[in-house]
Amino acid sequence: MSSSTPGLRTLGTARAAPCAPAARARVVVLREAGALAAHVAAWEELAAHVAEPNPFYEPWMLLPALRRPGARFELVLVYADAVRLIGLFPLERLARFKRLPLSALRLWSHSHCYLRTPLLRCGRESEALEAFFAWAARESGASLVQLQEVPGEGLFHQALARHFGRHPEAVYFAERYVRALFRPQRSGAEYLRAALPGRRLKEFRRLARRLAERGPLAYRVLGPEDGAEDWIQGFLALEARGWKGRAGTALASAPADRAFFEAVAREATRRGRLDMDGLYLGGRALALSCRIRAGEGAFAFKIAFDEAFAAFSPGVLLELAHLERVHREGRVRWIDSCAVPGHFMAQRLWRERRVLQMLTVGAGAAGSLLVLLLPLLRWAARRLRRTP
């Protein structure tokens, strides 16, 4: 999809400043979960001063995933000195890259990670990238480095552009796409009128009235005085009753996934960063959603609805109520949908777009040659697929 679609201006809050010489940076590579604890304090301090927020790579969200059985990773830490962490790059190693006999490193992820922006200290982005790519080229043993699901605009993207501008010999290939993003307007009513055709909005209002005929219909928000554990367990149970439960992909279907969600939601609650709301008919939850707050914005994390009431679109009704609440409160400047491109609900209700990209970078002679040939190889593959 074209990156010319209007999208995110920047999710950071500070401007890049001149950085210190790259020679001062020190790279530490961790491959065992037991070695992570010694760096958590520096990691937490870095997460509080990043150029672009990414809660999925903060320690309280990433550590439960890295400690899952079978998780293989290479956590690359860039230190400016003995204690100050300026860059963090979670990676995984591929012995073969797309059936080619070349090793590759790519940003580490899992099924509940929706952004892979490395954590870079604001004002030290260039220094951190310099040290990381130097390590990748000289010491990693990989031919390629793949940065996928990273911003295609904003402070991180600007730091990448400066890096490749300083190193014209570096070879990379970028693919861009967009996903839905929400920014509040002057009022919730004005926003919804612009997002939905009049007939569609009236239809959703009619569905809400029909639901209210069956009993008390209420929109509720998890407050500081509420028990977050009831909301967490209620969400797991609601999701498990739907199609994800039948397909075995619900969070509650796998003990490791359930434990991950519970750990993350509880810690987000402790940090004041869990935002949950729900649509209830009497005491029955028809739809529940949760988001992770990050600075001035948030990331949509999970949503579930009661399929017995699918004809009333409870998930959409919940989202309409949520968007109106965000406008009333005025505390959130943006929400990343974390949805796949073209998602049916986010595409309609979330009016702006965030540009994301995937970069494949050559880390050696063979890798650089392959990156140069990637456009030709992609073109040839498309032609072959169209050939009878």
- Do residues 311 and 209 share a domain? yes
- Do residues 201 and 320 share a domain? yes
Distance CA 33, CA 31 (A): 7
pLDDT value at 387 more than 90: no
Query: Is 4 domain-assigned?
Result: no
Query: Is 341 domain-assigned?
Result: no
Distance CA 353, CA 135 (A): 34
3 state SS of 218: strand
Of 66 and 82, more confident: 66
Determine the pLDDT at residue 100: 66
Query: Is 27 domain-assigned?
Result: yes
pLDDT-derived band of residue 80, with 50, 70 and 90 as boundaries? very high
215-268 per-position pLDDT tens digit: 999 999 999 888 899 999 999 999 999 999 999 999 999 999 999 999 999 999
Domain containing residue 360: CATH number = 3.40.630.30
140-181 per-position pLDDT tens digit: 988 889 999 999 999 999 999 999 999 888 888 888 999 999
Query: Is 44 domain-assigned?
Result: yes
Mean pLDDT of the chain: 88
Distance CA 27, CA 81 (A): 10
- Do residues 71 and 165 share a domain? yes
What DSSP character marks residue 143? Answer: S
Mean pLDDT of 292-311: 96
Q: At residue 278, what are phi and psi to the nearest 5 degrees?
A: -155, 155
pLDDT-derived band of residue 21, with 50, 70 and 90 as boundaries? very low
Mean pLDDT of 21-30: 78
Q: Domain limits at 296? A: 184-332
Name the domain count of the chain.
Answer: 2
Query: Is 349 domain-assigned?
Result: no
Distance CA 19, CA 40 (A): 24
Give the relative orientation of helices 314-329 and 198-212 as an angle to the nearest 10 degrees.
110
Distance CA 77, CA 222 (A): 36
